[in-house]
């Protein structure tokens, strides 16, 4: 349970970082969305987000970004350590990227960053409380065992 929460926290950190990178690329370098996906999928930091690699494969096979994103997220949704609500957010995000001007895309990315940050903070809080609980349980078990031995 605790390990799953830690994986969830790390995954959400990467999603938030990915959105930040996406926003910067759209704002400042004005790269096309497929180029941004390629950079993300090939990067060391975000390469572990396997749906990005699948999205890139779909783009290379001729799919539109929206279709490629949807297929990729759907393909990997069972292996993602996040809630269904966050998966729905990822799917919805793909509908907006590349369909409006850069200003509107950035507004959308900022909104989704906030939503994923809320999920991240909730998961981090749960992870922290579970970690403390298991530590306390371990200490108490050790003390109980010591009393039994004596």
H helices present in the chain, as ranges: 2-24, 33-42, 50-60, 65-76, 84-96, 102-149
pLDDT at 149: 75
When pLDDT is cut at 50, 70 and 90, the band that residue 4 belongs to is confident
Q: What is the rounded distance in angstroms from the CA atom of residue 67 to the CA atom of residue 58? A: 8
Angle at 54 between CA 50 and CA 56, to 5 degrees: 115
Q: What is the rounded distance in angstroms from the CA atom of residue 61 to the CA atom of residue 127? A: 40
**3-state class of 34 per DSSP?**
helix
Average pLDDT score, the chain = 89
Say if residues 101 and 28 touch (Cβ distance below 8 Å). Answer: no
Please report, for the chain, the start and end positions of each structural domain, with discontinuous segments joined by +.
2-124
Regarding pTM above 0.85, the answer is: no
Provide the sign of the torsion angle of the four alpha carbons 75, 79, 81, 83, taken in this order. Answer: positive
- What percentage of the chain has pLDDT greater than the value 90? 72
The string of pLDDT tens digits covering residues 6-27 is 899 999 999 999 999 999 999 8
The string of pLDDT tens digits covering residues 69-95 is 999 999 999 999 999 999 999 999 999
């Amino acid at each position: 349970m605790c390990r799953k929460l830690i994986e969830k926290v790390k995954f959400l950190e990467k999603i938030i970082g990915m959105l930040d990178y996406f926003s910067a690329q759209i704002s400042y370098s004005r790269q096309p969305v497929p180029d941004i996906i390629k950079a993300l999928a090939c990067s060391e930091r975000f390469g572990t987000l396997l749906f990005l690699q699948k999205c890139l494969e779909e783009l290379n096979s001729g799919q539109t970004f929206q279709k490629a994103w949807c297929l990729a997220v759907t393909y990997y949704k069972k292996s993602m350590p996040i809630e269904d609500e966050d998966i729905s957010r990822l799917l919805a995000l793909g509908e907006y990227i590349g369909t409006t001007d850069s200003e509107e895309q950035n507004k959308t990315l900022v909104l989704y960053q906030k939503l994923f940050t809320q999920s991240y903070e909730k998961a981090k809080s749960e992870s922290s409380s579970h970690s403390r609980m298991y530590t306390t349980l371990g200490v108490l078990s050790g003390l109980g065992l010591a009393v039994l031995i004596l």
